[in-house]
């Protein structure tokens, strides 16, 4: 199966609650490569590359988030494939 790359934007109370590290742990567990970072508009932005079923699981987890988060929306778009060796927090 071919790896896909998705851009994921998560909005709500997602900064200052451990959201990036929640994504990092789950992405590594799912074998996903890419990055996660906080954005100036208080959202979290993720670029994730992996098998579609693993990406879908990560997107589902983004809707849940860590305990102190509140997720209002998760938007996803397929983006041009990039190459990462690992998953990291920017």
Kindly report, residue by residue over 48-83, the tens digit of the pLDDT. Answer: 999 999 999 999 999 999 999 999 999 999 998 788
Distance CA 48, CA 2 (A): 14
User: Measured in whole angstroms, how far is the alpha carbon of residue 71 from the centre of its chain?
Assistant: 13
Note the pTM of the prediction, 2 decimals.
Answer: 0.95
Structural domain that includes position 36? 4-82
pLDDT score of 32: 97
The SS3 call for residue 26 is: helix
Asked whether residue 59 is domain-assigned, the answer is yes
Q: For residue 70, what are the β-bridge partners?
A: 13
What CATH number has the domain bearing residue 52? Answer: 3.30.70.100
Asked whether residue 63 is domain-assigned, the answer is yes
Catalytic one of 20, 26, 33, 54:
20
Asked whether residue 87 is domain-assigned, the answer is no
Tell me whether residue 20 is one of the annotated catalytic residues. yes
Asked whether residue 73 is domain-assigned, the answer is yes
Q: pLDDT by residue (tens digit) across 16-39?
A: 999 999 999 999 999 999 999 999
Tell me whether residue 38 is one of the annotated catalytic residues. yes
Comparing CA positions, the residue from 7, 84, 82, 85 lying closest to residue 43 is: 7
Q: For residue 74, what are the β-bridge partners?
A: 10
Distance CA 14, CA 42 (A): 7
Catalytic one of 13, 25, 38, 56:
38
């Amino acid at each position: 199966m071919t790896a896909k790359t998705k851009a994921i934007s998560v909005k709500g109370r997602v900064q200052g609650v451990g959201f990036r590290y929640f994504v990092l742990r789950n992405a590594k567990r799912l074998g996903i490569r890419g990055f996660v970072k906080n954005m100036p508009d208080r959202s979290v932005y993720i670029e994730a590359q992996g098998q579609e079923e693993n990406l879908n699981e990560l997107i589902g987890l983004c809707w849940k988030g860590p305990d102190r988060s509140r997720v209002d929306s998760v938007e996803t778009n397929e983006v041009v494939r990039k190459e990462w060796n690992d998953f990291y927090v920017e």
